[in-house]
Amino acid sequence: MPDYVVDATVIGFANGDIAARRPGNVLDRRLSVIEQVVRGVRRLRYNRRLLSEYTQLVQEYRNDVIDAFFALLDDSRRAVLVRRSTLSAGDYDTARRSCRWPTHDQHLLAAALGGDDPTIAVTEARHARCAAELLRHFGVHIENLG
């Protein structure tokens, strides 16, 4: 089963009124990623730093998808807690210099490394600009959910 690392901004932006969801709109794309993890189509990979960001951004669950997402964090079949929140020195250097990956988001890449065909779901264009190099150097895909 392929793995997903979901940036906390995706979770935060998806935590809204589900009535605003329309096929193909930004909310729909974000909720669809979360639903894939909830349904077991993909496995979530996260670390303590991401967990902290999730809980800081989402104080109240505003829809059932977000409620289900937080419930699955305790399910080791659908969610893998990765021990590392930082990259090794060599990976950090490659991510920063070759891939231009933002240094403050190394925890996203750290969670993805070692996963099964991992994808990082993000909302920022600067992450998406790193997609080709991350795939080349680390085998990690980027999905921009704007």
At 80-138, the pLDDT tens digits run: 999 999 999 999 999 999 999 999 999 999 999 999 999 999 999 999 999 999 999 99
What span, in angstroms and rounded, lies between the C-alpha atoms of 86 and 43? Answer: 20
Global pTM?
Answer: 0.96
Edge-to-edge strand order for the sheet containing 79-81? 79-81, 43-46, 3-6, 119-122, 141-144
The per-residue pLDDT for range 36-89, each reduced to its tens digit, is 999 999 999 999 999 999 999 999 999 999 999 999 998 988 999 999 999 999
Q: What one-character DSSP code corresponds to residue 40?
A: T
Does the pLDDT value for residue 12 go beyond 90?
yes
> What is 3-144's CATH number?
3.40.50
Quote the tokens at residue 131: 């997609």
112 near 135, Cβ under 8 Å?
A: no
What span, in angstroms and rounded, lies between the C-alpha atoms of 90 and 88? Answer: 5
- Structural domain boundaries of the chain? 3-144
Quote the tokens at residue 138: 């680390």
